[in-house]
Amino acid sequence: MDYSNQRRGITLTDFLRDYQMEAVNKMKNGCILNGGTGSGKSRTGLYYYFKENGGSFVNQEFVPMKNPQNLYIITTAMKRDSHEWDFELANYRMSVHPDKNELYPGQIVVIDSWNNIKKYSEIQRGFFIFDEDRVTGSGAWVKAFQKIAKNNNWIILSATPGDCWADYIPVFVANGFYKNKTEFCREHVVYSRFTKYPQIDRYLNTGRLVRLRNSILIDMDFHRHTVQHHIDISVSYDIPKYKDVMRNRWDPYKDEPIQQASQLCYILRRIVNTDESRVVALMEILEKVPRAIIFYNFDYEREMLLHLFSDDEYIGYEVAEWSGHAHQPVPDAKRWIYLVQYTAGCEGWNCIKTDTIIFFSQNYSYKVTEQACGRIDRLNTPYHDLYFYHLKSRSGIDMAITKALNKKKKFNERKFVGWN
């Protein structure tokens, strides 16, 4: 039977771009494929699996795999439910449905979310693709990941692989560089002496850490055809109320004293983010664009936005959302608004129907913000110019968050408040 590219119009030159093929040739078991959002990591990672299991394109002819390993793709719930991976699998005549896996009878193909990773901790001799890196810290996901890594082949796909050296500990351990987290910390971590809780002050022997990271990090040399335009929109805030909270450390919403840095920052942000000027600025932007994605942080912001878009002025718009309250797809109307809560939807889905994202409030994490921008900055977007509107006040907390993000760092609440 002929499985040539005529079957699906696939050739190596139009299926994988040069920088993707270069990455495939550098990849190895236990590596992190590091590519920006929209660079085609899914396709590249899947081709590596295809190649490692005997598949290839020879003279632009599709050569199927020989006795392929069972494949497990661990991704975000949103990406699983959008069937984005199913589309990529179809290029290789693979499917999660056994009755459609005609070319590879008996092969198991699973696409599931990180929430269910523990279900697969007993699997052996399979191949795992961990999509959208979640293996940081020391929780249940990390323990399941490290158990899987001992008994299977695996790779990680990530647009932002790590904010600090501690983020790499699980992957370093899984690769056998260290026995466990304790050994890593003993060799490389100095803790602060001036905090109530363990807090890393600095790292030792970072030269070795750089070498270890470089040995597993495969960068994709990706050149975008798009141009990102980031526009800061200045908004007001209730200065007397803000200063009163800072001075008295009193929660005006619960009428109780503020005792934690996180509580103080939450209240300051609520004062800033609920100012009417922010809604007015948003409305002015929406007058110029027919379709927009709006990112927000908190439930009170969601309530403000849903209330706004229930107004008669927005009758012609289709409004949908992805949050902890609802999982709705991107609208397909002429005019629409898509509300996305950062934590729920900063990754794992794509949209090429608009050139506009509005950040109603800032997120603490540079990594999350970058991932959010990547939702519309895709290889196949028809737009050349992409617009990102950032609503910001001149309040101390907004300016401090901006400063941290500009340094590509995560905002530190305790440092901002000055509490140890």
Residue carrying the six token digits 């942080």: 297
Q: Which residue has the higher pLDDT, 69 or 7?
A: 69
Q: How far apart are the C-alpha atoms of 88 and 123, rounded to whole Å?
A: 23
Q: How far apart are the C-alpha atoms of 297 and 319, rounded to whole Å?
A: 18
State pLDDT tens for residues 359-394: 999 999 998 999 899 999 988 899 999 999 999 999
Q: Is 269 in contact with 397 (CB distance < 8 Å)?
A: yes
Q: Is 33 in contact with 45 (CB distance < 8 Å)?
A: yes
Per-residue pLDDT at 290:
95
Which of 262, 259, 307, 260 minimizes the C-alpha distance to 283?
Answer: 307
Domains of the chain by start residue, with CATH = 5-219 (3.40.50.10810), 227-417 (3.40.50.300)
Is beta strand 109-113 parallel, antiparallel or unpaired with respect to 71-75?
parallel
For the chain, how many helices (H) and strands (E)?
Answer: 17, 18
State pLDDT tens for residues 152-166: 999 999 877 777 898
Percent of the chain with pLDDT over 90: 70
What is the full DSSP assignment across 325-376?
S-B-PPP-SSSEEEEEEHHHHSSS----S-SEEEESS--S-HHHHHHHHTTT
Q: How far apart are the C-alpha atoms of 399 and 403, rounded to whole Å?
A: 6
The pLDDT confidence band at residue 325, using thresholds 50, 70 and 90, is very high
What is the full DSSP assignment across 272-336?
HHT-HHHHHHHHHHHTT-SEEEEEE-SHHHHHHHHHHHTSGGGTTSEEEEESSS-B-PPP-SSSE
Percent of the chain with pLDDT over 70: 94
State pLDDT tens for residues 101-155: 889 999 999 999 999 999 999 999 999 999 976 777 668 889 999 999 999 999 9
Which burial class, exposed, middle or buried, applies to 402 when counting CB atoms under 10 A from its CB (0-12, 13-18, 19+)? middle
Per-residue pLDDT at 14:
53
Per-residue pLDDT at 58:
61
Per-residue pLDDT at 9:
37
- The whole model's pTM is what? 0.73
Q: How far apart are the C-alpha atoms of 78 and 72, rounded to whole Å?
A: 17
Q: Rounded to whole angstroms, what are the CA distances from 160 to 1, 52, 128, 157? A: 42, 25, 19, 9
Backbone dihedral region of 132: left (phi > 0), alpha (psi from -120 to 50 degrees) or beta?
Answer: left
Q: How far apart are the C-alpha atoms of 387 and 376, rounded to whole Å?
A: 10
The two three-digit tokens of residue 194, written as one number:
């001036």
Per-residue pLDDT at 10:
38
**187 has pLDDT over 50:** yes
Q: Is 97 in contact with 117 (CB distance < 8 Å)?
A: no
In whole numbers, what is the pLDDT of the chain averaged over residues?
Answer: 90
Per-residue pLDDT at 175:
96
The two three-digit tokens of residue 303, written as one number:
């309530």
State pLDDT tens for residues 251-263: 999 999 999 999 9
